[in-house]
Chain A
Amino acid sequence: MTRHYELLFVLKPTLVDEEVQARITFLKETLEKNGAEISAFQNMGTRKLAYKIEKFERGYYGVFYFTAPSLAIGEVERNIRINEDFIKFMSVKYENQKELRHWNKIVEKCNKQVTTTQPVDAPVQETEASPEA
Chain B
Amino acid sequence: MAPERRKYARKYCKYCEAKIEFIDYKDTKILKHALSERYKIMPRRLTGTCKRHQEMAELAIKRARHTALIPYVVDTRNVVAHPFDQLQ
List residues of chain A with CB under 8 Å of any chain B CB: 8, 10, 44, 47-51, 53, 59, 63, 88, 90, 92, 98-99, 101-102, 106
**A53 and B26 contacting across the interface, CB-CB below 8 Å:** no
Residue in B26, B70, B86 whose beta carbon sits within 8 Å of that of A8 in the complex:
B26
Q: Could you tell me the distance between the alpha carbons of A10 and B24 in the complex, rounded to whole angstroms?
A: 17
Q: Quick one: which of A51, A53, A59 has the most chain B CB within 10 A?
A: A51
Across-interface contacts of B72 in A (CB, < 8 A) = 50-51
**B68 and A10 contacting across the interface, CB-CB below 8 Å:** yes
Prevailing SS type, chain B contact patch? loop
- Tell me, yes or no, whether B36 is within 8 Å of chain A by CB: no
- Tell me, yes or no, whether B38 is within 8 Å of chain A by CB: no
- Tell me, yes or no, whether B76 is within 8 Å of chain A by CB: no
Residue in A88, A99, A102 whose beta carbon sits within 8 Å of that of B68 in the complex:
A88
- Tell me, yes or no, whether B63 is within 8 Å of chain A by CB: yes
How many residues in B have their beta carbons less than 8 Å from beta carbons of A? 16
Other A-B pairs beyond A50-B72, A59-B68, A88-B68, 18, CB < 8 Å: A8-B26, A10-B67, A10-B68, A48-B86, A50-B65, A51-B71, A53-B68, A63-B26, A88-B66, A90-B66, A90-B67, A92-B25, A98-B21, A98-B22, A101-B21, A101-B22, A102-B21, A106-B24
Q: Quick one: which of B22, B71, B72, B88 has the most chain A CB within 10 A?
A: B22
CB distance from A33 to the nearest CB of B (A): 25
CB distance from A30 to the nearest CB of B (A): 20
Q: Could you tell me the distance between the alpha carbons of A53 and B67 in the complex, rounded to whole angstroms?
A: 10
